[in-house]
Amino acid sequence: MRPTRLLAAASSTFRRRRLYTAAAVSTVAPSSAAPPPQSAVQPLSTQFARPSPARGHGVADDLASSLRALLASSPTVQHAFHLLRSAALDTRLPPNELVDAVLSTVDAGSPAAVTLLSHVLTCLSRAASDCAAAAAAYSRMVTRGVVPDAKSRTDLLVTTARGASAADALTLFDEMRGKGCYADAKMYDVVIRACVRGGMHCDAVRLFDEMAGFVPTTMTYNSIINGFVKAGMMGSAFGMYRQMRKKVKLLIYVRRDGIQPDIAAYNAFIDTFCKQGNMSRALHFLVLLLKDGLTPDVTVYNSFVTGYKNLKMMAEASKFYYSMIKQRVVADTEIYTTLIDGFSKVGNVAFALELYSEMMANHVIPDDKTFTALTHGLCRSGDIDGAKRLLDDMRRLDVSPNIVTYNMLINACVRDGKLQEAFQLHDEMLSSGVVPDDTTYDILPRTNNS
């Protein structure tokens, strides 16, 4: 029989037996109770494995037969990828049986075994809703003496960090290295960033220090810097930043390693200093950003606008706003809201209204914070009618007024002696589903005594 006919016959048999096996499984009596769990501590990868439904061994046997026939008919193992993918994702063959079926056709020490099982691990890692199947398959491969390639192991680490936790990804990574598996820069990067996201900063730094022989990527540096900044560890963040700057200077003529601070790294410092009111330090990092040939984005501008607004230095905030417009950086809702709030609080409600009109003309949709800031300014200036007209704009834009907005309007009406309007606003608030708070009732009882 020719190889192509053999493959066709094997595939047909595989399909028929799969149906027969499925029918047989449905009629099998329930098995006896599962044995008690082992008390010994198991490796992390085995902890992810979940019991699979009972299956006959015919499906795995048919896979092995089809795979053996396919490999016999083709000199390259890549032709078997589709068959393995179907067995892993469509037939959902249990990971242990899938690995064993492959190793029944190729020697565990051969390059073919590494190629085939690496493809299996990649398929399971990228397509699984969780990391159970992929982790169980990896554990079986290592037990059978096969180490999948670096790319598939990286896929497994990504899936573990996403589907389990940063701690699980770190444990699995340490387990891989403990068994002598080669770890490349991408693996380190995946696990370091997972540790930073999970708040495991000390572990992230430990792995970073262990990257002997590797040049960390910009993303790795930025992840650690951002993690330190968010945790308030500014000294550590500066140390990592200086190390990155030093690396940039060493590679200034040779950019092959691609290490260069990006907007995210710079803005981590800029935003922190702006929130602290230390604008001179924030400006220092802006200068460094520009020297590196980078262009500030909307997040950088918003940090400066917010920083100067908090210091009530609206003239400086306006300079950054106009600079942003000049550089054709599109202002977002957050920047407009910050400016409107700042100018409203310093009494320049007229300019706040101009910004609101400009915002609407540019099709930037205000949110409830925008309306709250503008309502506050109008109420303070005594323009209650103007503040109430904002409610119409909110309804038109399908923005729900919050409790703060209603309280400001009610308080303004009470202060102006418009008690009936105050109670009307209270009733409107109730009908819209906004629950009054203590501030609301601190305002309204005074009307009963008036």
Q: Is the dihedral angle over the CA atoms 267, 273, 278, 281 positive or is it negative?
A: negative
Average pLDDT value for residue range 248-256:
40
Same domain, 384 and 449: yes
- Does residue 94 carry a pLDDT above 70? yes
Question: CB neighbours (10 Å) of residue 367?
Answer: 16
Q: For residues 127 and 150, is the Cβ–Cβ distance under 8 A?
A: no
DSSP 80: G
Predicted confidence (pLDDT) at residue 316 exceeds the cutoff of 90:
yes
Q: How far is CA 203 from the centre of its chain?
A: 19
Segment 376-387, tens digit of pLDDT = 999 888 888 888
E strands, 43-198, where?
none
Indicate whether 279 belongs to any domain: no
Q: Is residue 292 part of a domain?
A: no
Considering the domain architecture, whether residues 140 and 1 belong to the same structural domain is answered as yes
CA 100-105-108 angle, to 5 degrees, is 65
For the cut 60, the answer to whether the pLDDT of residue 250 exceeds it is no
- Helix/strand/coil for 183: coil
215, part of any domain: yes
Judgement on whether residues 132 and 214 belong to the same structural domain of the protein: no
Conformation bin of residue 145: beta by default, left when phi > 0, alpha when psi is -120 to 50: left
Which residue has 């068959």 as its token pair? 83
Please check whether residues 2 and 105 belong to one and the same domain.
Answer: yes
Contact 78, 91 (CB under 8 A): no
Q: Is residue 266 part of a domain?
A: no
Contact 442, 420 (CB under 8 A): no
Higher pLDDT, 338 or 145: 338
Task: Answer whether 0.85 is exceeded by the pTM.
Answer: no
| Same domain for 173 and 119 | no
Decide which of 337 and 232 is more confident: 337
Closest by CA to 94, choosing from 140, 47, 144, 127, is 140
Domain end (from 232, 261, 290):
261
Left (φ > 0), alpha (ψ -120 to 50) or beta: where does 259 sit? beta
Tokens encoding 161: 């960090």
Choose the final residue of a domain: 210, 237, 261: 261
Q: Tell me if residue 65 falls in helix, strand or coil.
A: helix
Number of domains observed in the structure of the chain: 3
The boundaries of the domain holding residue 414 are 347-450
- Whether the pLDDT of residue 104 is over 70: the answer is yes
The CATH code of the domain that includes 360 is 1.25.40.10
Q: Is residue 275 part of a domain?
A: no
As a whole number of angstroms, the distance between CA 439 and CA 409 comes to 12
What is the per-residue pLDDT for 261?
Answer: 61
More confident residue, 160 or 284: 284
25-81 pLDDT per residue, tens:
333 334 334 444 444 444 444 444 444 444 445 777 777 778 777 777 765 666 677
Per-residue pLDDT, 317 = 93
**Quick one: 84 and 188 in the same domain?**
no
Q: Are 67 and 83 in contact (CB under 8 A)?
A: yes
Query: Which of 244, 261, 278 finishes a domain?
Result: 261
pLDDT at 253: 36
The span from the CA of 265 to the CA of 223, in Å, is 8
Q: Same structural domain for residues 386 and 411?
A: yes
* Tens digit of each residue's pLDDT (9 = 90 or more) over 399-437: 888 888 888 888 888 888 888 888 888 888 888 888 888
- Both 191 and 213 in one domain: the answer is yes
Residues 11, 120 within the same domain: yes
In a domain, 368, yes or no: yes
* 302 inside domain: no
Query: Are residue 82 and residue 179 in the same domain, yes or no?
Result: no
Give me the pLDDT at residue 260, please: 58
One domain for residues 12 and 126: yes
Based on the fold, state whether residues 201 and 96 are members of the same structural domain: no
What is the C-alpha to C-alpha distance for residues 425 and 167, in angstroms, rounded to an integer?
52
Report if residue 287 sits inside a domain.
no
Instruction: State percent of the chain over pLDDT 90.
Output: 12
What is the rounded distance in angstroms from the CA atom of residue 389 to the CA atom of residue 376? 13
Neighbours of 188 (CB within 10 A): 21
**Nearest residue to 364 (alpha-carbon basis) of 320, 405, 338, 330:** 330
